[in-house]
Amino acid sequence: MKNKNVIVFDIDGTLTDSVSVHQFAFGSALQNFKFPALRTDWSSYRHHSDSAILTEAWEEANLEGKADMLRLEREYARFYDEAVRKTPFSEIRGARRFIDYMRKQGWIVVFATGSLRYGALHKLSVIGLDGESEILVTASEFETREEIVGRAVELGSAANGGQKPHHVISIGDGVWDLTTARNLGYEFFGIDSGKKKLLENFGVVMYRDFDDLYENERSSFEILK
């Protein structure tokens, strides 16, 4: 069996213009926990995922037992549905077309996100994908970005009979996406969702959207297949 390549997609700000909706839902859910001193600068937490942020906030509040993930999932779903009704969002231009193109090139497509699964499933549906049928790993299963992305790649390899991929490419929009890719030794391409200058400071070439990425990097993906 031929070793296939794996491409990993972040979701919020990468495939869908859903950052503000997700932030509202997640922030509102955390506020409902009534933590005495909740830090709302999510980038200040050790790990940038919904579950990891809850765990750290729980520990800082000196609450007993494990962080109540079931409650977070429930509250998040409620606020997420509310946000989507008020502010529907769409895909980043060319996202679905690019995914279909990569599959035609023989790449295994996987999705890895620091958001909870409930929202991730809806976001994928916005670009016409059934998340239940896709390889999708979220913060509902793991806390660290390395665990989330690493597991998605493992599942992608399993879909190819357990063969280790020749190449793994990660596509995202945030510094945490870049850091995770570098920690795992994966190549990274950046989609500009308002963070272009920030990521360019790390030496990343940013692309306006997936149409831009396709036009500039198509030959690279075809050579690697």
| pLDDT given at position 10 | 98
pTM: 0.94
Q: DSSP letter string over 24-36?
A: HHHHHHHHTT--T
| pLDDT given at position 81 | 98
| pLDDT given at position 196 | 64
| pLDDT given at position 179 | 94
Q: How far is CA 7 from the centre of its chain?
A: 12
HSE value, Cβ hemisphere, 13 Å, CA-based, for 22: 22
Q: Tell me which residues of the chain have a pLDDT lower than 50.
A: none
| pLDDT given at position 71 | 97
| pLDDT given at position 47 | 92
HSE value, Cβ hemisphere, 13 Å, CA-based, for 147: 13
Query: What are the distances in angstroms from CA 183 to CA 16, 128, 187?
Result: 25, 31, 10
| pLDDT given at position 195 | 65
| Contact in structure between 66 and 157 (CB atoms under 8 Å) | no
| pLDDT given at position 16 | 97
Tens of pLDDT, residue by residue over 16-31, are 999 999 999 999 999 9
| pLDDT given at position 209 | 95
| pLDDT given at position 225 | 65
| pLDDT given at position 192 | 87
For residues 169 and 187, give the distance between their C-alpha atoms in angstroms, rounded to a whole number. Answer: 5
